[in-house]
Amino acid sequence: MRFFDTHTHLYYVQQVTQESLAQLVQNAEQAGVEKMLIAAVLQQDFKNIVNMTALFPNQLYYGLGLHPLYIEQHSQNDLALLQQALEQRSSACTAIAEIGLERGKAELISEELWKKQCEFLEVQLSFAQKFDLPVNLHSRQSHDQLFTFLKRAKLNKVGVVHGFAGSYEQAKRFVDLGYKIGVGGTITYERANKTRNTIAKLPLDSLLLETDSPDMPVFGFQGQPNRSERIVHVFHELCQLRKEPAELIAETIWENSCNLFAK
């Protein structure tokens, strides 16, 4: 079976584990993870990510974007540099990532910072439209607000709501707009009933697999940096939640992922 980790921060995995990029890619491949999408967080990540993907053009793709968790650090100049990097992007750049909204931290939803989050999201969605790229979206406690932005943006290539943890009704609204739902380590925890039930009910062709490594650990590996090869644990749990044969689940999600993030 072939897997595509559609959301990883591989440069941070490398920093945390001190393993070579070649070793990390090999570890993933040995588990069947043939492709990975590296999502940016900060403007200063961009160059490193571009250089990493150039070393493994068959396995690695990348997305550039400014993460809402770091909205206090982002500047207007970062948006200009993002646009410049997108204009100069290589063929390995297949997404605007990671962008979105963050309402899980009280300090980030002050009137000033919430306005800034919304402005940065709107600009980055306009970049997605301009450069004809899909988006890889962060959404924590902000599904309803994010939906409003996406409905208004009417992107040509839509994208994925990554690390989804919400209700079936919220997920279905995104799916009805054409967006995929990112399935990660959350479903490996039995207590995550709402998310598990949601993922069990959504159309199979609306799902992608991801790790968010080194974050979002799977059950049994808490306290350890997450890795792309652990997407296999997410897949096995997904198979327990779904009625389709494992082979069909794997192949459908592989095709979903490649159609969206591999050119």
pLDDT tens digits, one per residue of 144-202: 999 999 999 999 999 999 999 989 999 999 999 999 999 999 999 999 999 999 999 99
**Could you tell me if 128 and 159 are in contact, meaning their C-beta atoms sit under 8 angstroms apart?**
yes
Contact 99, 68 (CB under 8 A): yes
Domain boundaries, the chain: 3-262
The tokens of 173 are what? 């609204």
Nearest Cα residue to 119 out of 63, 74, 170: 74
The reported pLDDT for the residue numbered 254 is 98
| Structure tokens, 236 | 């096995």
pLDDT digits (tens, 9 = 90+) for 233-262: 999 999 999 999 999 999 999 999 999 999
Q: Does the annotation list 233 as a binding residue?
A: no
Q: Is 236 annotated as a binding residue?
A: no
Centre a 10 Å sphere on the Cβ of residue 58 and count the other Cβ atoms it contains. 8
pLDDT of 70 reads 98
Check if the beta carbon of residue 99 is closer than 8 Å to that of residue 129.
no
The CATH superfamily holding the domain 3-262 is: Metal-dependent hydrolases (3.20.20.140)
Of 20, 56, 64, 14, nearest in space to 38 by CA:
64
Q: What local confidence, expressed as pLDDT, does residue 164 receive?
A: 94
Q: Do the annotations mark residue 162 as ligand-binding?
A: yes
9 is in an annotated binding site: yes
Q: What is the pTM of this model?
A: 0.97
Picking from 57, 60, 54, 58, the residue whose alpha carbon sits closest to that of residue 13 is 60
* 92 close to 62: Cβ distance less than 8 angstroms: yes
* Residue 247, token pair as written in the block: 């082979």
Q: 2 with 254: CB under 8 angstroms?
A: yes
One-letter-per-residue 3-state SS of 123-171:
HHHHHHHHHCCCEEEEEECCHHHHHHHHHHHCCCCCEEECCCCCCHHHH
Nearest to 44 by CA among 11, 19, 68: 11
198 φ/ψ angles, rounded to the nearest 5 degrees: -65, -50
Q: What is the mean pLDDT of the chain?
A: 97
Position 104 pLDDT exceeds 80: yes
Look at residue 213 in the predicted model and tell me its pLDDT.
98
| Half-sphere exposure (Cβ direction) of 205: Cα atoms closer than 13 Å | 4
- pLDDT of 263 higher than 80: no
